[in-house]
Copies of this chain bind each other. A is one copy, B any other.
Amino acid sequence: MIRDVERNPTREGVLEAAAKIVAILPPTPLLPVEIDGVRLHVKAENLQPIGAFKIRGAWHRLSALSDEEKAAGVVAVSSGNHAQGVAWAAKRLGTKATIVMPRDAPQVKLEGTRALGAEIVLYDRQGEESRDDVAEKLISEHGGILVHAFGDPWVIEGQGSAGIEIAEQLGHEPSRIIACCGGGGLSAGLSLACPDAAIVPVEPAGWDVVGEAMRRGEVVRVQDNPPSTICDALIPTATMPINLEVLTARADPGVTVTDDEVRDAQRFAFLRLQLVVEPGGAAALAAALAGKVALDNDTVIMITGGNVDPQRFAETISTAG
């Protein structure tokens, strides 16, 4: 089904998304934290009802569907957080959601998506068929509207609504937002939301498809045989032109973090913030704790998700850093 995904996301769209979202979801807290003697804030998006910020973009997109589109249902591709966001929004709107998920997605994400009533189609990350191929085939056979996890103007605007909330909670625009970055939907949305803030995307080491695209000025695929990473939520194989365009105009390439740095951040969040944070949701905090980004009192660190399998989390917190 054809729809206009080629429009550019705008700040007006972000403001519209923020108004729609605050009407149904209470703002997530902006919590004080001290790092290296600097008092700053974390935006605890892991406390959203689905445990991740992805509910924002999904709601902005799905609530804008026409009746005809709603009747056709939605299709999404996701390792689990966008999946739950789309499933949540679809359930609320009475729309069918079909989600293509990797077979090795965290169990809590598979179960959470299923519990919200979505149909799950599994694929193998290492298989012949890419996840986008699986989705395309589904849509050509059964119809439905593709809701891309990051390369979609509504999704970008929806994610940006977090930046509007932050500015309201601080009383002014932050100086800098450090954001966990997969395909660049959140970073692009925040860029639009807070035009005066520095936006720092943080990607897993070896998976900096957004940073590398910004450096080269074009979309690039992840390197062959990329290193393994625990950040299951941050490993799309490439960003999209729509994200790159927004980010190139507004942000510099960010930084990358290692698995050890991410685990340190998860332990810090457990001990100091009483928050459950999944690996990908801790990447921005990891960069801050590792001294990879300058910090000041008006810096905000995005904690983007907290859907993590209990056994994995237990191992992380019970191992010394």
Which residues from chain A sit less than 8 Å from chain B, CB to CB?
26, 28-32, 44, 46-47, 49, 51, 108, 267, 270-277, 306-307, 310-311, 313-315, 317-318
Contact = CB atoms under 8 A, between A and B. Distances in A.
A123 B203 CA distance: 48
A108 B272 CA distance: 10
Given A108-B271, A267-B310, 19 more contacts: A26-B30, A26-B31, A29-B44, A47-B273, A47-B275, A51-B272, A51-B274, A270-B310, A271-B310, A274-B277, A275-B275, A310-B317, A310-B318, A311-B318, A313-B314, A313-B317, A314-B315, A314-B317, A314-B318
A78 B40 CA distance: 30
Contacts of A46: 274
A200 to B, nearest CB: 23
Contact of A29 (B26, B272, B314, B315): B26
A274 B275 contact: yes
Pairs of residues from A and B, 6 with the lowest C-beta to C-beta distance, nearest first: A274-B306, A314-B314, A314-B318, A310-B317, A274-B276, A29-B29
A26 B44 CA distance: 14
8 contacts: A28-B29, A29-B47, A32-B49, A51-B272, A274-B275, A274-B277, A274-B307, A276-B276
Contacts of A271: 108, 310
A273 B51 CA distance: 7
Given A32-B26, A317-B310, A318-B310, A47 B274 contact: yes
Contacts of A273: 47
Nearest to A270: B276
A266 to B, nearest CB: 11
A84 to B, nearest CB: 12
A310 B318 CA distance: 6
A290 to B, nearest CB: 20
A26 to B, nearest CB: 7
A275 B28 CA distance: 13
A157 to B, nearest CB: 23
A48 to B, nearest CB: 9
A175 B29 CA distance: 24
Nearest to A273: B47
Contacts of A275: 47, 274-276
Nearest to A303: B274
A36 to B, nearest CB: 15
A257 to B, nearest CB: 20
A311 B271 CA distance: 12
Contacts of A270: 276, 310, 313
A111 B42 CA distance: 23
Nearest to A31: B47
